[in-house]
Structure 1
Amino acid sequence: MTAHIVTAPAPATGPTGTTTGTAPASGTAPAPAVIAPTPAAVAGAGLGGAWLPLSAAFTDAVADLTDREDLTVQCAPGLGQGAPGCFVPALATIELDGTHLGHRPDTCDPTRPADRHRYPILWGVLVHEAAHATHTRWEPPTGAPAAVFDAALALEESRIEAAQVRRRPADRSWLRAAASSLILADFFTPTTSTHTATAATAPATVPHGASGASATPATAPGSGAGASGTGSGASGAVASGTVAGAAVTTPGAAMTPWNAGRAAALLLARTDAGILTLAETAPLREVVVGVLGESRLSALSALWHIAHTTGDTDGEAMLELGRRWCRIIGARPDHPAPVPQPGTPGASGDPSPLVKAVGETLIAVHASSDTRATAPGTPGASSTAANKGEERRREKKAREEAQRAARRVFAPSTTPTTARRGPTAITSTRTPEPAEQAAARRLARQLRSAAHRDRVTTRTTSATPPGRLSMRGALAADAQRAAGTTPTAEPFTQTIRRHVPAPPLRIGIACDVSGSMNEFARPVASAAWIIARAAGHVPDAVSASVIFGAWVRALTHPGQTPAQVPVFAANDPCEDFTTAVDALDAALDLTRPGAARLLVVVSDGRFKDPHPTLGQQRLDRLTASGCAVLWLAPHSHATVLNGAHPITLTDPAQTADTIGAAATRALRNA
């Protein structure tokens, strides 16, 4: 299993007694239970010496990551149930393996933000487990099919990280720093053959540099005693280049549909969640496509995009996604994935292409600039302040470019650059149809309903009025005074009910007006008018829309409710996508937290250089800040940039309904 959540003490074994390491262990998922102490847990249970104050410091720091006050963090060598870290919901406890600290525990203070850069891997593991503690609020029902549960947990990994960076965008760099340690053991932990369980070990080669943690012996998968997410404590076992331990006959991930889907769920889904980048996972995607094919990978991609928008408590939806995942992969939901047979890819002593691709991806993540800046022992580790200063300068430059684009695009139409003539022209306006007016009213009601927040009730007690008098508290105060002690009883209770303000809503729509998008011209103009009209009837809701081709023109302006529907043609030879995103970003503050933000792109994605590269940089910046990006494609062959949620619209008339549903979902989840 892939999620680092301890639910039961049963080890993961295959149908013949062999440990699989890459598939669910039995026909049904284990029932949630408080785990029994494992040898690793007992070894670190004492938290002696400097590990106890370090654990207390982690406990203080985790409250900011989760907004929970009931969590306890334990950090010591051997903890984590065989993984770098794990979350035990029944005990409200996060366990961290102290071997990933890399420093003396008495020299570390995680309550100081600057100190966390010394051990980014362990802090990243804590952020990941904190995301589980905050967003994994569902448990599998008793008797849930094992493969279904395993697939759901694989989808849960990217879902909780996507939710964490939406809530705390700054946590992205920490999740990237820990990505190698969290994912490595799922693919590089060797499996044990039934015929060679006592034979000499054959080291499985692991790519160098995939993690900065020290080498750790790897046992057979499943020996973590219920610690879902890894089979061993070898998540960082790459410093020496080999994994040693149990009898080894197969690398940890053979070229099977199940393992290819597993790699996609753990790495490609993190790319669409905004944690990893498209360039880092491109080699892996090629290998996965070679195993699954484009159609099956596209179907799996649709599932993890749905998972990224699933609620924290909707376990039924996650299990249903797991069932659909198994059907697409071709796995039986009530059985674990088959163990690779001798002679199949991955059954030899050499790593399979899938293993190599995963290794290349993790090496690329580890070598990327934002990971290197926080990794101890690297050239940028001692210049954190300089790196932050450079980030601030880049952000300032990006905002200035966006503001210049917004001034050009949304300036009064009397200027030559925004006049409704020439290429990318808004040809005329028309009176809205009754169906469009009804759709705007219906969407306004949906947005108001989604923005509604119940009143928050706060109860306080005091020794003096105002408040309702509690006779029990009054008698306790009298008894304390009679005994000659200072009264500590607070007999007055006051209930305060406060209204929670509705979160602001920001919606930006950018429509491609190249020749291939001609059939979407009318429905997009209609959708832009409907959204702007509905936003005008919702407090703190602002929308704007642009068309982009050779030029970028404003369809609707921020904060204005248009009376007429704009009409435009789609016959431009090129697309200025970068300026369109910049203009909407600056006009609507799409990169500033504090509001429900949605960018909608209607395009086939076939841009000319340099807009694919520059546009990807813009979308990376938006998704890192927590802005949702919806990409409406006219056909399945469209090119969708990384980080956007793709939807193929076979019927252009569905454009307004699709955008409205996405806006409502963004507002409800804000």
Structure 2
Amino acid sequence: MTTSTTPRRTCKAWTDPEHRSWAQLSSLTGQRLAEVSGRRDLIAVVHPGAPESAYAEFEPAKAEARFAPENLLVDEPDPARIDPRDYTDRCLHPAFAGAICHEAAHAAYTRLEFSNGDDPAAVHWAIQLEEPRIEHRLIENRPGDRPWLRSSMKHVLGPALVSRDEEETPKGAVSSAVLVLGRAAGGVISEREAALLAAHVEKVIGVQAYEELREVFTELFLLADDDTAGMLALGARVAKIAQDDGSDYQSVKDALRAGAGGSASAEAPGQGGQNGQGSVAVAVVMPCGARSVGDPPADGSNAPGDGESGGAQAQPGTDAQDGGSDDADGAADGLAALIIASVTETAVNAAQRRVKVLVVKERDNSDQQQAKKAAATVFPSGGGTAARHVRVADKKPTEEQTRQARTLLRALAAAQYRDEDRTTLRVTAPPGRPVMRELVRRASQIHAGTDITAKPWTRTSRRQVQNPPLRVGISLDVSGSMDPWMNAVASTGWALAHAVASPRLAGTVAATVWNGAAAPLIAPGKRPEKVPTPVAGGGSSGCPQSLYALDGALDLTASEGARVVVVVTDGDLPNRDEIQKATTHLTRAGVKVLWLKVRENGWGPKGAHVEYLADPANFGPLVGRALAKALTSA
């Protein structure tokens, strides 16, 4: 008995890039791009051979995203039956869905413009760093797109997670680290999934260079979308870590020179295109920073997923394709195990959210412990006061200060108020408001004997929305140079405490002062009857303790609602690294840090909203606007 094997039938569209099915899929992909990016001017091109790279690419000048379905869609499905807008189709083709999200992230957040004088190596690595940065920005605003980004990333970069070349150069190792470990730092994949690659990179480039690279990732996600100078600075640092002298990027130099001359200038969305310094926005490619400009490294090593010998595509005649290598089999098994564990973890987390089960995970609690310790030191329990090393005079509030408190109360109450939530539903039976058109339609359906689908009544349900809670911490520098500001800041601090702690707002305020160490000014939850006015003098190293004390006393990082910390200082501070660490601890938890500096050239930490406070009288309005904005967005 003989058996015949029927070859798999291939859709005609796969042999004809101009087939109408590709035009249909391109149109639907463009609609999905618009949905994810928030832009309505994007064009999608989907057909075999559309991009120059192996997977996908975005060209800012044309607002055009091009996709290679031959590498993103498995088993050559009929493109006429694929709709990226449909959730089920995205589940069937997750790598393609992730590619769309990635290019939409470029369209929404890539605003880089390079100039003719820029270092080619810095430009190359800045483009590489842009890949994890824009994905981090996307999941910040659209966390539901994270599974698609993970799918496309693993489709292209999966082998890099489990198997690496032991003889890899620092340049190749750093390239893989930027594309994979950068995504882990940005929250697209977990640190556990990238652990094997992290150990390999640390072995290749050394512990010190590896720690420097992790610092680059930390600073990367704090940059603004259009901060080209910041990206170039980080790119130069990565080039130094990778021991890259920039000699291999001739086409980068050519592109920058062409941009300076005007022939290759590309206008990024929201930018003015070519400027007087020869700016050129370089197209970037999904999903792993495949080279949109620049030559392959001279040593022949390729970044994973660049469509050449690296990444997910094995070359003919290699062990990875022949299947004769135990290492390749082990890598595949390891990758499968990682993916299964990741899918299981995602499913369990989703189930826990639905039933509201809290699972305590192992994490670094050093900041929380430091906050509790600082709060116990600065704000002792039992309602007492710490042994103050800062003199404070309690003054009776003036009529102007009372008026300021009432004004703040009205503004914050208006921002905090939430109207009732109204939902209008169409129903098939009363009670409700009749809709005549639907009544006629219902009568017609009854007369025709068809299924009744008309819903002739509308019903409105109302639900009272709880106002968001408000927590405000005030941290005041009382070193000698701050003396001119004491009265104005103390006055506004009292007005804030009086307004926020009122029964109408039911908020909580605490205030600290610091010179060489932190001391209490207004205890948490208290509504002071008198205005506490500190006397300036002493050093200026107590800011970190003050911030941690406010966190521990007000429970800022572990609570919800509107949470604001206001810092007033001249910015002449000796322990900036410690202050940056405390500020990052707050901002990562969603606390808004308003940093008011009384000297124009004073220092302010990254992640905080820094304002120059030229006039003490502006302190009240500035803080009021910041609190109102935090309440409105809570």
- TM-score (ref. length: structure 2): 0.53
Offset of residue 466 of structure 1? 1.2
Alignment of 1:369-408 (within 5 A): 392-395=362-365, 398-408=367-377
Q: Specify every segment of 5 or more residues in structure 1 that has no aligned partner in the other structure, as ranges.
A: 12-23, 61-70, 88-93, 96-128, 148-153, 183-203, 216-237, 240-264, 275-279, 289-317, 338-345, 352-373
SS of 1:495's equivalent in the other structure is strand
Determine the structure 1 residue equivalent to 2:480.
Answer: 515
Offset of residue 546 of structure 1? 1.1
Determine the structure 2 residue equivalent to 1:85.
Answer: 99
Letter in 2 for 1:394: D
- Cα pair distance change 1:457/1:586, threshold 3 Å: same
Contact kept, 8 Å, 1:165 with 1:624, in 2: the verdict is: no
Offset of residue 160 of structure 1? 9.7
The answer as to 2:54 corresponding to 1:40 is no
Determine the structure 1 residue equivalent to 2:550.
Answer: 584
Aligned with residue 409 of structure 1, among 344, 356, 378: 378
Deviations for 1:283-323, whole angstroms, at most 9, x for unmatched residues? Answer: 629879xxxxxxxxxxxxxxxxxxxxxxxxxxxxx998x57
The answer as to 2:604 corresponding to 1:634 is no
- Cα pair distance change 1:434/1:384, threshold 3 Å: same
The answer as to 2:435 corresponding to 1:465 is no
Letter in 1 for 2:391: A
Contact kept, 8 Å, 2:367 with 2:585, in 1: the verdict is: no
Determine the structure 2 residue equivalent to 1:524.
Answer: 489
Contact kept, 8 Å, 1:605 with 1:641, in 2: the verdict is: no
- Cα pair distance change 1:656/1:50, threshold 3 Å: farther
Determine the structure 1 residue equivalent to 2:522.
Answer: 556
Letter in 2 for 1:539: L
Contact kept, 8 Å, 2:596 with 2:612, in 1: the verdict is: yes
Letter in 1 for 2:624: G
C-alpha distance in 2, partners of 1:543/1:46?
57
Letter in 2 for 1:634: V
C-alpha distance in 2, partners of 1:271/1:577?
22
Contact kept, 8 Å, 1:169 with 1:624, in 2: the verdict is: no
Q: Larger radius of gyration, structure 1 or 2?
A: 2
Determine the structure 2 residue equivalent to 1:647.
Answer: 611
Offset of residue 595 of structure 1? 0.5
Q: Specify every segment of 5 or more residues in structure 2 that has no aligned partner in the other structure, as ranges.
A: 1-33, 46-57, 116-128, 158-168, 181-196, 199-215, 239-267, 283-293, 300-333, 347-357
C-alpha distance in 1, partners of 2:138/2:409?
26
- Cα pair distance change 1:641/1:51, threshold 3 Å: farther
C-alpha distance in 2, partners of 1:207/1:562?
61
Letter in 2 for 1:418: A
Alignment of 1:530-541 (within 5 A): 530-537=495-502, 538-541=504-507
Offset of residue 645 of structure 1? 2.2
Letter in 1 for 2:629: R
- Cα pair distance change 1:281/1:376, threshold 3 Å: farther
Determine the structure 2 residue equivalent to 1:437.
Answer: 402
Alignment of 1:107-118 (within 5 A): none
Contact kept, 8 Å, 1:406 with 1:586, in 2: the verdict is: yes
Offset of residue 494 of structure 1? 0.6
Aligned with residue 415 of structure 2, among 437, 441, 450: 450
Offset of residue 492 of structure 1? 2.3
C-alpha distance in 2, partners of 1:393/1:205?
31
C-alpha distance in 2, partners of 1:536/1:326?
53
C-alpha distance in 1, partners of 2:277/2:609?
26
RMSD: 6.3
Deviations for 1:554-612, whole angstroms, at most 9, x for unmatched residues? Answer: 22233333222111122223533333222211332321353122112223455556x83
Offset of residue 516 of structure 1? 3.8
- TM-score (ref. length: structure 1): 0.50
C-alpha distance in 2, partners of 1:644/1:214?
28
- Cα pair distance change 1:470/1:8, threshold 3 Å: closer
Letter in 1 for 2:482: M
Letter in 2 for 1:558: P
- Cα pair distance change 1:654/1:495, threshold 3 Å: same
Determine the structure 2 residue equivalent to 1:418.
Answer: 386
C-alpha distance in 2, partners of 1:657/1:86?
44
Contact kept, 8 Å, 1:457 with 1:496, in 2: the verdict is: yes
- Cα pair distance change 1:452/1:528, threshold 3 Å: same
- Cα pair distance change 1:158/1:500, threshold 3 Å: farther
SS of 1:554's equivalent in the other structure is strand
Determine the structure 2 residue equivalent to 1:190.
Answer: none
Offset of residue 348 of structure 1? 14
- Cα pair distance change 1:645/1:562, threshold 3 Å: same
C-alpha distance in 2, partners of 1:350/1:570?
62
- Cα pair distance change 1:604/1:168, threshold 3 Å: farther
Alignment of 1:68-217 (within 5 A): 75=93, 79=96, 85-87=99-101, 165=140, 207-211=172-176
Offset of residue 509 of structure 1? 1.3
- Cα pair distance change 1:551/1:456, threshold 3 Å: same
C-alpha distance in 1, partners of 2:386/2:269?
50
C-alpha distance in 1, partners of 2:178/2:79?
19
Determine the structure 1 residue equivalent to 2:566.
Answer: 600
Offset of residue 58 of structure 1? 9.8
Determine the structure 2 residue equivalent to 1:665.
Answer: 629
- Cα pair distance change 1:53/1:557, threshold 3 Å: farther
Letter in 1 for 2:545: T
Determine the structure 2 residue equivalent to 1:573.
Answer: 539
Contact kept, 8 Å, 1:536 with 1:559, in 2: the verdict is: yes
Alignment of 1:196-345 (within 5 A): 207-211=172-176, 270-271=221-222, 284=234, 331=277
- Cα pair distance change 1:666/1:657, threshold 3 Å: same
Letter in 1 for 2:492: A
Aligned with residue 616 of structure 1, among 568, 580, 604: 580
Deviations for 1:183-220, whole angstroms, at most 9, x for unmatched residues? Answer: xxxxxxxxxxxxxxxxxxxxx995533336999xxxxx
Contact kept, 8 Å, 2:396 with 2:530, in 1: the verdict is: yes
Offset of residue 648 of structure 1? 2.5
Deviations for 1:497-554, whole angstroms, at most 9, x for unmatched residues? Answer: 4443332222211112233433333332122112223324552433221112344222
Contact kept, 8 Å, 2:139 with 2:145, in 1: the verdict is: no
C-alpha distance in 2, partners of 1:585/1:662?
18
SS of 2:222's equivalent in the other structure is helix
Letter in 1 for 2:557: T
C-alpha distance in 2, partners of 1:75/1:558?
53
C-alpha distance in 1, partners of 2:106/2:522?
40
Contact kept, 8 Å, 2:132 with 2:179, in 1: the verdict is: no
The answer as to 2:450 corresponding to 1:495 is no
Moved more, 490-499 or 460-469: 490-499
Deviations for 1:136-192, whole angstroms, at most 9, x for unmatched residues? Answer: 6x9x9xxxx999xxxxxx9999799569648979989x99x98xx99xxxxxxxxxx
Greater relative contact order: 1 or 2 (C-alpha under 8 angstroms, separation 6 or more)?
1
Letter in 2 for 1:85: A
C-alpha distance in 2, partners of 1:170/1:406?
39
SS of 1:566's equivalent in the other structure is strand
Percent identity, please: 28
- Cα pair distance change 1:403/1:53, threshold 3 Å: farther
Deviations for 1:100-127, whole angstroms, at most 9, x for unmatched residues? Answer: xxxxxxxxxxxxxxxxxxxxxxxxxxxx
Contact kept, 8 Å, 1:159 with 1:273, in 2: the verdict is: no
Contact kept, 8 Å, 2:478 with 2:513, in 1: the verdict is: yes
C-alpha distance in 2, partners of 1:579/1:635?
22
Offset of residue 454 of structure 1? 4.5
Letter in 2 for 1:442: T
C-alpha distance in 2, partners of 1:169/1:574?
44
Contact kept, 8 Å, 1:507 with 1:543, in 2: the verdict is: yes
SS of 1:211's equivalent in the other structure is helix
Aligned residues: 448
- Cα pair distance change 1:326/1:643, threshold 3 Å: farther
